[in-house]
Amino acid sequence: MHGLMQEWPLVCHKIIDHAARQHPNREVVSRSVEGPIVRTTYAGVRDNARKIAQLLAREGFQPGDRIATLAWNTGRHLEAWFGIMGMGGVYHTLNPRLFPEQIAWIMNHASDRAIFTDLTFMPLVEKLVPSVESLRKVIVMTDAAHMPETALPNVVSYEEWLDEADGDFEWADVGEDAACGMCYTSGTTGDPKGVLYSHRSNVLHAMMAAMPDAMGVGSKDVILPVVPMFHANAWGLGQTCPMIGAKMVMPGGKMDGESIYELLDTEKVTFTAAVPTVWLMLLQYLEQNDKKLPYLKKVVIGGAACPRAITEKFEKNYGVEVIHAWGMTEMSPLGSLCTMKPQHAGKTGDALLDIKQKQGTAPFGVEMIVTDDDGKELPWDGKTFGRLKVRGPAVASSYYGGDGAEQFDEDGWFDTGDVAHIDPDGYMQITDRSKDVIKSGGEWISSIELENLAVGHRDLAEAAVIGLPHEKWGERPLLVVVAREGCAPSRDDILAFMDGKIAKWWMPDDVAFVDEIPHTATGKIKKTALREQFAHYRFPG
């Protein structure tokens, strides 16, 4: 027997329609690439998205066509997303922090047919276009006054292009399982792999993200997505914000501490999200300039493990709740968020921080297990760690083109490549990437826990830990650090700071000082590059 409910497909253009009807005057504020702060509304975003969809369809682009974006977080980028999806196309976010050769490879793999780009990236686009045979059109997201000279064919100014449309367009009639978005993994272990989102998965993910025990946001919030739209969908905020009617504040290309603080303060931001390195810069700016955060209530930190010191400073010094989160491009991307269950309501101080160090619990829509190398499920005891696997309606079932099939099993589980344990209350904690865990004397040492402990030292700006060969133990940890400007910590001082806070056999065998730690295009520590850098290193003695 079938239920007698209406067929109402979960398609993404319904999100912007809802925002324009229920929250038409709610602002979308952007720091424009040209410089000034510009303002529009959800009604304005919907109007321009309809024009974009109309123009793309008029010019012969078809449902299913991949349309790339190479742009910062702005209102125009949001309009492009909904316009592409509303035409039936697939927005494909490109990460400008990759090498040009990598971007060209990704565009060719995806067969991108057009690209929306910001002024910042025009020199890069001019290098890319000759290498991408499928590309037909370049839309530069600016007005006529700022349009750069270029020898590229089929290039238009965004604002002039929009003037050619009246917006009288019916959204494409696509099913909820149709593809609507695409993002490639960072490719740290081989070529990047394409993740293809559906309308249904994006809508469900936006609902999951907004839930009280997830991000817990609503129409009264003012949300600053610092995490880029090209970094795993801006963690879903591009769909969640219009769905709930929250005011959006878009930072453009300026991610330094002062610029982020300016937006937090002038726009009275209540909620924001980014990777730890952004918050390290902000906290340093706040401390150096004696600034406060009177409006900010909540910050989500993910993309890499959040050092305990960041959580402690936000909560103790500024009264801002920190939600430690974890996810992956393959998960749209949210997998878990560390909000407090009732049994933890009374915890304070170190007891509370101990829990907040974990990546948290899975929202409805994400199932997770931990297994051994043979696939046997391990207990949720908070101690036994193994391979973290997930499944759910917003989790990839395969990669575009069939790459990486070994990460998906016959029961639908996706092997994340992370090593983790889960406690009896359902709180998951990443202990390492499977390729980064240090195996010493037959036991595992978590490089992440060592990094988070070390970076709490007052004189350190950043820390990374890698395992290097050892004749007796197989591998031992080397701590690689960057000192804060004007500070000169010693090896013995750093190790003394860590002593007593971890098991003796976990203590790094040595400390190496560097000017800079290499990072991937998504801001994560690039362990492969560190291992190459220290390939000939030998431990003392």
Q: What is the CATH number of the domain that holds 417?
A: 2.30.38.10
Cα 190–chain centre separation: 20
Helix (H, G, I), strand (E, B) or coil at 333: coil
What pLDDT is recorded for position 190? 65
- 341 occurs within a structural domain: no
The CATH number assigned to the domain holding 478 equals 3.30.300.30
In the 3-class helix/strand/coil scheme, how is 246-295 assigned residue by residue?
CEEEECECCCCHHHHHHHHHHCCCCEEEECHHHHHHHHHHHHHHCCCCCC
**What does the pLDDT read at residue 187?**
55
How confident is the model over 433-448, as a mean pLDDT?
A: 77
Q: What are the pLDDT digits (tens) for 385-408? A: 899 999 999 999 999 998 889 999
Strand 114-117 with 137-140, pairing: parallel
Cβ–Cβ under 8 Å, residues 253 and 277: no
> Containing domain of residue 514, as a range?
438-533
pLDDT of res. 442: 63
The dihedral over CA atoms of 530, 534, 535, 540, expressed in degrees to the nearest 10, equals -140
Of 171-180, 284-293, 447-456, the one with minimum mean pLDDT is 447-456
DSSP string, 448-510: HHHHHHHTTSTTEEEEEEEEEEETTTEEEEEEEEEEPTT----HHHHHHHHTTSS-GGGS-SE
Residues 467 and 517 reside in one and the same domain? yes
Residue range 490-513: mean pLDDT, rounded: 92
301-318 pLDDT, tens digit each? 998 788 898 999 999 999
Cα separation, 437 vs 303, whole angstroms: 18
Higher pLDDT, 504 or 377: 377
pLDDT in tens, 76-104: 999 999 999 999 999 999 999 888 998 99
- Reported as a single tens digit per residue, the pLDDT across 180-229 is 999 998 654 568 899 999 999 999 999 999 999 999 999 999 999 999 99
Q: Give the helix/strand (H/E) hosting 322.
A: strand 321-327
Angle of CA points 86, 87, 88, to nearest 5°: 90
Residue 170, pLDDT > 70, answer yes
409 and 458, same domain (yes or no): no
Q: Is residue 509 part of a domain?
A: yes
pLDDT of residue 438: 85
- Same-domain status, 395 and 490: no
73 and 160 part of one domain: yes
Give yes or no: residues 130 and 52 share one domain: yes
| Nearest Cα residue to 64 out of 56, 76, 72 | 56
Q: Which two tokens stand for residue 35?
A: 């410089």
Confidence bin at 446 (pLDDT 50/70/90): confident
Distance CA 76, CA 377 (A): 46
**pLDDT score at 161:** 98
Would you say residue 130 lies in a domain?
Answer: yes
Q: Which residues are catalytic?
A: 185, 330, 439, 444
* For range 513-529, the mean pLDDT: 86
Domain closes at, from 383, 414, 433: 433
Last residue of a domain, one of 174, 198, 222: 198
Q: Note whether residue 281 is domain-resident.
A: no
Residue 187 sits in the same domain as residue 73: yes
| Neighbour count for residue 74 (Cβ, 10 Å) | 24
Domain shared by 412 and 455, yes or no: no
CA dihedral (387, 393, 394, 396) in degrees, to 10, reads 60
The pLDDT, as a whole number, for residue 444 is 72
* Selection from 317, 383, 384, 316 nearest residue 350 by Cα: 316
pLDDT in tens, 95-134: 998 889 989 999 999 999 999 999 999 999 999 999 999 9
- Assess whether 484 and 428 both reside in one domain: no
Instruction: List beta partners, residue 369.
Output: 389
> Tens of pLDDT along 330-358?
999 999 999 999 999 889 999 999 999 99
Number of structural domains the chain divides into: 3
Q: Decide which of 156, 173, 198 is a domain's last residue.
A: 198
Q: What is the pLDDT of residue 254?
A: 96
What does the mean pLDDT of the chain come to? 94
Say whether both 397 and 498 belong to one domain: no
- Scanning the structure block, which residue is given the tokens 């976990």? 506
Give pLDDT, residue 470.
85
pLDDT (0 to 100) of residue 440: 82
Residues 120 and 190 in one domain: yes
Question: What pLDDT, on a 0 to 100 scale, did the predictor assign at position 304?
Answer: 78
pLDDT at residue number 139: 98
One domain, residues 180 and 127: yes
Q: 418: which strand partners?
A: 433
Calpha distance 389→193 (Å, rounded): 18
159 part of a folded domain: yes
Which neighbouring-strand residues pair with 39? 29
382 and 518 housed in the same domain: no
